Chain A
Amino acid sequence: MTTTTAELPASPTEADYVLHLYITGATPNSMRAVRNIKEICEEHLAGRYELLIIDIYQQPQLARQEQIVAAPTLVRQRPLPRRQLVGDLSNRAAVLISLGVPSSGNAN
């Protein structure tokens, strides 16, 4: 888990997928979300993604800045348009559709 303590970095990377996951500490939903997104990314987007996990308990101002209401929330910063996926990301099919990843499972 990458937990930033500074301001949100201005994603300088060239990754196709820039994902920010906002979690609330170690709550069950948050832990599940972290596990799920890591699995999805490794499975479908290996090498093409950048994942940032932010604990809004520690970065409350980011919650405001990024318009986070629900927790956990995964924000797809890239590709545009920006999308918010709320929930623990357990609905794998919905996540893939929302992320714009073909769900066939053989993307890479």
Chain B
Amino acid sequence: MPEYKLAPTALPQLPKALTGIDGLDEITEGGLPLGRPTLVCGSAGCGKTLLGIEFLVRGIIDYNEPGVLMTFEETADELAANVTSLGFDLKAMQADKKLRVDHVHIDRSEIEETGEYDLEGLFIRLGYAIDSIGAKRVMLDTIEALFSGFPNEAVLRSEIRRLFRWLKDKGVTTIITAERGEGTLTRQGLEEYVSDCVILLDNRVIDQITTRRLRIVKYRGTTHGTNEYPYLITEEGFSVLPITSLKLEHTVSNEIISSGVPGLDEMFTRRGWYKGSSILITGTAGTAKTTLAASFALEACRRGERCLYFAFEESPAQLIRNMRTVGLDLQPFVDQGALIIEASRPTLNGLERHLVTVHKLIKEHEPQTVVIDPISNLVSVGSLSEVRSMLTRLIDFLKVSNITALFTALVSARDGRMEMTEEGVSSLVDTWISVRDLEGIGERNRGLSILKARGMAHSNQVREFLVTDNGIQLLDVVIGPMGIITGASRLTQRMQEQAQLVAQQHELSRRDRELERKRRVLEATIENLRTEFESVEEELRQVNNEEHARHEALSSKRHTMGHSLTTNTPATPDPQHSA
């Protein structure tokens, strides 16, 4: 018997064994029931065997728990070959005594019943395999094959029941795979023997696209995720992905980053949007959503960030070429590896595969910025609710990873739901920018407005913008008599304004000239008056002088007369004075 101890826990919780499989441990809240059997059922091609093998391999690699694989269908060599593509080297593990593969070959034609028997041989083989390497994990794939080899069902059922009991007593964590039956979980009703944990794998084809789903039917003694979770078989193995985190407790950044369009930044009070937030750009066809997205991607690269651009409509070469025509040269950043463009048709894969691709690439490149252009194309792959749940998980994941994400979405203008996104993601995003056609008389202009921006005040105007040779340019707001004016009306308005300006200038210079003339006339008049005044002054001065001379003469005469009175001088007036 392997020395097996239960993990000491503070509370008497059901001990669990981590599977090491992506996502499964989250759903099961810690793994499969430790030391107990788990039934994995599903129809053909669901990946039951792979789930089991990965459980064993991860146990060996990650948790150093040796495992026993008892296979009833494929031989050890076949299995080893099958999982080589996933990077699992079963042979090496067998050589290291970490794994033991026992192929149970049952051929009905070779077997004859001749009396009473039991399956002790199986027990001995399994027990021997477990004990020889001290295995903690066991996988039985697919035990129902026994039913094809042994006709006595009563014996088989009691023996299988005994086997599960025995495995439990041995304390090994076991995965038992079984084919799905009609109306029952398994063809032979094994679920009634395995009561601890039952996982159902499902392979569904809807609209020619296969989606694989996993559900925990029951898990005794513990809580678990009850939904159907999509899962994938990727190059790295089994992947139940991704999990919607149930809580909203991601950290947020207060840092502001630019949108890549200066005019757009201006529309936010904090000149950009928050790092790590998610931005949605919706618009009808041809409203430069991709150009906006590319501007943002380019700006992110200029900041020195790494940007992952998922293009669902254009090939990388086409995107780069098209963006170059509007002055956005992505090529240098692609060459540097700062910009990773991942282009694929949405219909190439199911939604889950897309999601996993996104996850994988994000893990691989660790970008700070992710652009998905456009998310609306994904609707062609799945139903609305599926797309919504996928996007919810995606946005959730990006937010938790603190990655700034920009999504574009095509909305239909016809049904009047201009401001509704079909995917209903609008409530998930932090910033929502709407671009639209402003159709006037005989022309079509592009307008941009911010529908919402969480945590920041923003402009309420619809701004017209142009896609120029230098990227996107927001035009100044022109307000006419009927509101905001765009396009030709804007030009008309501008011309009118210019004409008015010219007229005003003419008027102004005319007034100036008039004034000048008036001034000159006045100045001439003033000159005249001054001359007149001068002549008058001259005259007055003359008179004044004469008066003065006379006065002098008079006074000197009086003086002389005085003298003559005393000295008898001749009384003739002085001729000099009288002159």
Contact = CB atoms under 8 A, between A and B. Distances in A.
A83 B117 CA distance: 16
Contacts, number: 106
Nearest to A33: B115
Interface stretch (A3-11, A12-20, A42-50, A86-94): A86-94
Contact of B121 (A70, A87, A91): A70
A58 to B, nearest CB: 10
A60 B124 contact: yes
Given A64-B102, A84-B110, A72 B117 contact: yes
A77 interface: no
B115 A84 contact: no
A57 B123 CA distance: 10
B114 A87 contact: yes
A2 interface: no
Given A61-B128, A64-B128, A94 B113 contact: yes
Contacts of A53: none
B487 interface: no
Contacts of B114: 74, 85-91, 94-95, 98
User: Is the interface on chain A under 10, 10 to 19, 20 to 34, or 35 or more residues?
Assistant: 35 or more
Interface residues of B, number: 25
Interface in B359-410: none
A63 B129 CA distance: 11
A68 interface: yes
A71 B117 contact: yes
Contact of A29 (B105, B112, B117): B117
B116 A87 contact: yes
Interface in B75-119: 102, 104-106, 110-119
Contacts of B117: 29, 70-73, 86-88
A56 interface: yes
A86 B128 contact: no
A29 to B, nearest CB: 5
A85 B117 CA distance: 10
B112 A56 contact: no
Interface of A: 22, 24, 27, 29, 32-33, 36, 56-57, 60-61, 63-64, 67-74, 81-91, 94-95, 97-98
Given A70-B122, A83-B112, 11 more contacts: A60-B124, A67-B104, A68-B121, A69-B150, A71-B124, A84-B111, A85-B113, A86-B112, A88-B117, A94-B112, A98-B114
22 contacts: A27-B120, A29-B115, A33-B115, A60-B124, A60-B127, A61-B128, A63-B124, A64-B125, A64-B128, A67-B104, A69-B125, A69-B146, A82-B110, A83-B111, A85-B113, A87-B113, A87-B114, A87-B117, A89-B115, A94-B113, A94-B114, A98-B112
